[in-house]
Amino acid sequence: MNDLKKKKDERAKTSVLRQLATLQTLSLDQLREKWLDLYGTEPPKYKKQFLIKRLAHRIQELFYGGLSEQAKAHLKQVAETDPVATVIRKIPEERKSQETILPGTRFVRIWNDQRYEVIARDSGYEYDGRIFRSLSAVAREITGTRWNGKIFFGLKSSHRKKGGGQNA
């Protein structure tokens, strides 16, 4: 009986690996359909690589199990008490209307498994001991590619709102 269980577990693991490999071959529309199947919600309008990563996580989560309720509660508690963990917090309306970023504001971004920190100064943005003219310049320094700094650091959404009437 033990050998039968081992074989069944091995087949299931092989199935998971096969599903993960298949994700790379799917079109964007197929990935969105898979998202609907695995999450039960409409997929976000993100790029293909983002969907692949999230779907890979979901496939493994369904097979191996997700975080325990205790772990989720602990993470929520940490996020509520950590001033850097602002994932759930909303920006107050009065702050949204301000277009300037106050000196001393700290921006933290995880990029390719590394933590980057930028501090707003009167003269620009300090990163790695240097002053940059804009957040976009810092984002370019970090990634090596052109980015909108406010999008890179999460200050603004990368998707234009419908009916905004602005051309980029």
Give residue 88's pLDDT. 52
Please indicate, yes or no, whether the overall pTM of this predicted structure exceeds 0.85.
no
> pLDDT tens digit string along 37-76?
888 888 888 889 999 999 999 988 888 888 888 998 988 8
Instruction: Give me 90's structure tokens.
Output: 């909303």
Give residue 168's pLDDT. 39
User: Burial level of 131, CB count in 10 A (0-12/13-18/19+)?
Assistant: middle
Cβ-Cβ contacts under 8 Å for 56 (sequence gap 6 or more): 20, 23
Give residue 81's pLDDT. 78
Cβ-Cβ contacts under 8 Å for 39 (sequence gap 6 or more): 58
Full DSSP string of the chain: -HHHHHHHHHHHHHHHHHHHHHHTT--HHHHHHHHHHHHSSPPPS--HHHHHHHHHHHHHHHHH----HHHHHHHHHHHHH-TT--SSPPPPHHHHT--SPPTT-EEEEEETTEEEEEEEETTEEEETTEEESSHHHHHHHHHSS---HHHHTTSS-SSPPTT-----
Report, as ranges of residue numbers, the positions in the chain whose pLDDT lies below 50: 97-98, 162-168
Pick from 68, 66, 32: nearest CA to 52: 32
Question: What's the CA gap between 153 and 160, in Å, rounded?
Answer: 17
Give residue 97's pLDDT. 47
Give residue 167's pLDDT. 44
Domain segments of the chain: what residues?
10-64, 93-152
Give residue 90's pLDDT. 57
